[in-house]
Amino acid sequence: MQDNKVISLPPLTFPPAWAVELPLMNEDIRQLQIKVQQALEDLSQVAAIVDGKRYINSVLLAGKNKEPKLLEEVQNELRNMKCSTDQTKWLDQARTLADNAYASFDECFRVTTHFVNLLPNVKEAEFRRHIINIQKCQETAKHKCEYLNNHLKQLLNSSDALEKQTENNLIDIRSYQPDIQENSSLLKESPSLAKVDIFSLYKAGVKKLIDELGNDHSRLVDVLTYEARLLENIDEKEKNGDYEGLRANRYEILRGLNRVALEELGKSFNELCGI
């Protein structure tokens, strides 16, 4: 009769930040880029009207002179974004650049509005002075928006890299527990211990969340909906492979589960999953 060996492992140390924190949503960053690009387009339309002109159509200029509402939206969305520890510095810089872009765009809007209100009764010398002032403001706003846009591209690249690291289906336990590396005999005797299926942990975490909430909890329906969406997402990944839209949907589901766990149980969804 073969003896069943019981393998005793030391407790897992706290996993690295990349294993428990969700990176920024790529689609969110792309939407911010679209808004910044539109702000740049608005600036270029005003520039086309005032560049080298001796006569300015005040109605046309007023129509093209936009308030910095898009950049204000970018500011607010960046303030509300959450990110992993690895991306904190990038996100803080993006917020600062967005503030700078908004301020310079707003200055350009105010200077242009003042000029429109003076038209058409502006002397030639004053006309030239106002045009030069508008062009300087436009150039500053353009550079600030371009800086922000380039930084968002870098932020997107860092988010892509972190996604690939975080969304590796199999998490190596040895990265959690360095002591196991030194005891390779344990891994040889039980190779299955070397890797853990992250999606199995997610499924187990949802079950635990449901159990701890109880059948009568007001948020139970929300969790059951998240569970159904998560299972469908994982099934789609197994059938057709992973892709960005699927990952974005999965992160949204995990964020929802994490929010319920924190608000109702005072613990993160990762804790419930045991990661």
Higher pLDDT, 247 or 84: 247
User: What does the pLDDT read at residue 121?
Assistant: 83
Give the residue carrying structure tokens 């975080």. Answer: 166
- From 108, 133, 166, give the residue that closes a domain: 166
- Looking at the domain assignment, is residue 232 inside a domain? yes
Q: Does residue 1 lie in a domain region?
A: no
Q: Distance between CA 141 and CA 45 in Å, rounded?
A: 13
Do 181 and 119 lie in a common domain?
A: no
pLDDT at 267 exceeding the cut of 80:
yes
Based on the domain organization, do 155 and 133 belong to the same domain? yes
Give the pLDDT confidence of 234-257 residue by residue, as tens digits. Answer: 988 888 888 878 888 888 888 889
Q: Is the pLDDT of residue 104 over 90?
A: yes
Tokens representing 97 are 């650049």
The residue among 133, 186, 142, 127 whose CA lies nearest residue 43 is 142
Say what the pLDDT of residue 111 is: 93
Tokens of 15: 């996993």
If asked whether residues 197 and 93 sit together in one domain, one would say no
Pair (203, 228) in one structural domain: yes
pLDDT digits over 20-70, tens only? 444 556 778 888 999 999 999 999 999 888 887 777 888 888 899 899 999
Same domain? 202 vs 159: no
Domain boundary among 166, 189, 224: 166
Same domain, 133 and 216: no
Does residue 198 sit in the same domain as residue 222? yes
Domain identity same for 33 and 115: yes
- H or E element at residue 196: strand 195-197
Domain boundary among 166, 182, 217: 166
- What residue numbers bound the domain in which 111 lies? 19-166
Q: Are 194 and 114 members of one domain?
A: no
- Residue 99 inside a domain? The answer is yes
Question: Is 159 in the same domain as 24?
Answer: yes
How many CB atoms are closer than 10 A to CB 16? 13
Say yes or no: 86 and 196 in one domain.
no
Q: Cα–Cα distances in Å, from 240 out to 102, 202, 270?
A: 42, 20, 26
User: What count of other Cβ atoms lies within 10 Å of the Cβ of residue 191?
Assistant: 9
- Considering the domain architecture, whether residues 152 and 194 belong to the same structural domain is answered as no
